[in-house]
Chains A and B, each alone.
Chain A
Amino acid sequence: MKRFLLSAALFLCSTGLFAQSINESQVNGSFQIDGQYYKVDEAIGITEESIDGKKFGLNGFGKINYSLGNFTAGLRYEAYLPQMSGFDTRLQGCGIANYYASYDNGTISVTIGDIYDQFGNGFIFRTYEEWALGFDNSLRGMRVIYRPAAGVTLKGVYGKQRFFWNSYGATEKRGIVRGIDGEWDLNQSFNAMNDTKFRASLGGSFVSKYQKNTNTTYNIPENVGAFDGRINLGYGRFAFTTEYAYKINDPSAFNNYTYNEGQAILSSLSYSQKGFGVILQVKRVDNMSFKSDYQGVKNDLDINFIPPINYTHTHSLPAIYSYATQPLGEMAMQLQVNYTIPKNTIIGGKYGTKLTLDFSQVNDIKRNYIIAEGQGQPTHIAGHNGTLGYTSPFFAVGDRKFFHDFNIELERRLNKKWKLIAQYINLYYDMETIENHPGAEVVKANIGFVDVSYRITSKQSIRFELQHLWDNINKNNTTEASTVGHEDVYKKRGNWAAALVEYSIAPKWFVSVADKYNYGNPIADNRDHYYTASVGYIKESTRITLTGGRQSEGMVCVGGVCRVVPASSGVSISITTSF
């Protein structure tokens, strides 16, 4: 830290512009404080023990950026005193979590410190930060970007990733990550192409991690390399993109120490014109977990990011069953159509009607397990440890379905005062795989959703949200006996009803009350209400929200913004501001 500040100060002075330009320099920053007072609420599983004397939770950050011409520097202070419920306990603590200094003159850009970047879709490299989730895998080190000619970008990164508050020191706990990436936009290089309807760009990258092998059982490769290539083509209203990544054998705790290589491919084809857009995406992922610690579990020290290709639901009921990519393997597809029925037509009405149709499905890849004599079927999806795991034909779709989501959404302004959004969703959710709950039944649910808003005056409006979720479990399984020992998998099962009323005075004030009721839960004790009341004030970039009641885990959108919240009961306050 000391060395960094000194060198940054020296660098500033040495530019010679320091004295003259200090008045040209600019400062900006932001703060966020989320605090919560917890209350025991045994009905939803919040007990004296689970609170553990920590009646308050506080997550806060303050960041400041300084810029002077081509030079910028900044730091972010974070505090989790202690972390709010639902956040990783390893976050507890406070300190300067992130700092950087960077120089960018358009042709060359150098950054030292903590880096957020991604290559392509992030298949082999992506560092990012998601405050609402408490996730940060930034790379502490150095990045150089070189743009030698129009349309050409070359990048190099080198460093170690953040892992909560752990020291960046010891090599064996966390590997070194280094990567290079090149991107070439042909249209920016060849002006003649711009007279045609044709667009093309290419990209490729190589990322390698080094970690000392401390494992005495397995021979773990100390250097693991991954390659990535991508093409984007466009012709008029059509666009085609594809990206392929390959990773050499990378036995880890995550893949049960199997020695398979990894692969991922994502292709999409789209057509768009004003009022109509359609896209088809297909994806195959096979053993693509890539971490800078081979002992990492869950999301620990992920170097890469495999995007899920599903509709992201933000309303509380469909968000209960959100899909997450299975890095160990999946075959996925998505088709989405967006269409605006023109205004002043019989079906479109006076203002036009917006329709969205979306279908996505995810299955496992086909796995022919490698089983030595005397071994049974593997219990781990990646196969027997210490082997190649399985073979998998590239184009074969596995029998096991993980997820599907069919939904149709309609949005229409009825007149000057009334606006309506309605959605129907059909979900298939393999809870056993997605939530890692052995023995959990598949969720097959239908969800209906209506959002109606009425503009009282030019500034005041009132909004109603009604949702209902029909769960198949009521029909097949209501016996108390079958739930013994599996209580946790029934926590959110069964039918749900939810309602919300929000009154707002644009652009500054809002008040809302909401309730979610799991009235159809197979276990009578779980038939809980999750009621909340919120009031908020927004002025320019400052937002203050006060919420009381019970929060179930999930994505919540109130007060004009969306964020992910954990389950809790009590009173919470959130303050965000920037300058």
Chain B
Amino acid sequence: MKKTLVLLFLSVLFLGAKAQSDLPNVTLKNLDGETINITELNNDGKPFVMTFWATWCGPCVKEHNALSEVYQDWQDETGVKIFAVSIDDSRSTPRIKPFVEGKGWEFDVLLDVNKDLARAMNVSNPPHTFLFDGNGKMVHQHAGYFEGAEDELYEEILKLVK
């Protein structure tokens, strides 16, 4: 009985449902303490990138340093915006702002203190990078970071602005 119910329930729901590409309904804070609903994230019709990172994650810091070096050029050429979602918990939350500023990063930083957004977007381990088109539909994602991976991301961004 239990199994039948489960199957019935799941099949009704998932028939016709499509894989998630929309932004999930999660509310986070930014570095100024303002609450932001993720469904409202946008870049005035231009593509935007969402990266998951943490201050303690070496590859993430490398990735954001690399993105930081090219961010100005990317913005000039495509108008892309980067939302850097920190999954640091309260061990390091107050340190994020001086950390980000000290590194000279100019991304829009969001604080996912209890990993609500990471869970909703199925991020298992940082870094994890998503690309959204101008309508807020997710079009590309990539887990992990190696030197040069930002070039692939930029190719994907260019595809969206052509």
Residues of A within 8 A of B (CB): 1-2, 5-6, 8-9, 12, 22-23, 25-30, 32, 63, 65-68, 70, 72, 104, 106, 116-118, 120-122, 126, 128, 131, 151, 153, 185, 187-188, 199, 201, 232, 234, 239, 241, 268, 270-279, 281, 305, 307-309, 312-315, 336-340, 351-352, 354, 356, 411, 413, 419, 451, 453, 455, 458-461, 463, 504-507, 510, 538, 540-543, 557, 559-563, 576, 578-579
Contacts and interface: CB of A to CB of B under 8 A. Distances in A.
B104 interface: yes
Nearest to A120: B90
B34 A504 contact: no
B103 A72 contact: no
Contacts of B149: 506-507
Contact of A461 (B1, B15, B55, B147): B147
13 contacts: A2-B5, A9-B9, A22-B16, A22-B17, A63-B122, A66-B13, A185-B34, A232-B33, A274-B104, A307-B91, A507-B149, A507-B152, A579-B122
Contacts of B5: 2, 5-6
B143 interface: yes
Contacts of A131: 124
Interface in B1-57: 1-2, 5-6, 9, 12-22, 24-25, 32-35, 37, 55-57
A100 to B, nearest CB: 10
A338 B95 CA distance: 10
Contact-residue size bin, chain B (C-beta under 8 Å from the other chain):
35 or more
B136 interface: no
Nearest to B129: A507
B30 to A, nearest CB: 11
Contacts of A6: 5
B144 A543 contact: yes
Contacts of A451: 58
B108 interface: no
Contacts of A281: 94-95
B119 interface: yes
B134 interface: no
B91 A312 contact: yes
Given A65-B120, A279-B95, A274 B101 contact: yes
B102 A67 contact: no
A313 to B, nearest CB: 8
A340 B101 CA distance: 9
Task: Give the 8 A-B CB pairs with smallest separation, nearest first.
Answer: A338-B102, A277-B98, A560-B144, A277-B102, A578-B122, A28-B20, A312-B56, A272-B101
B19 A118 contact: no
A116 B65 contact: no
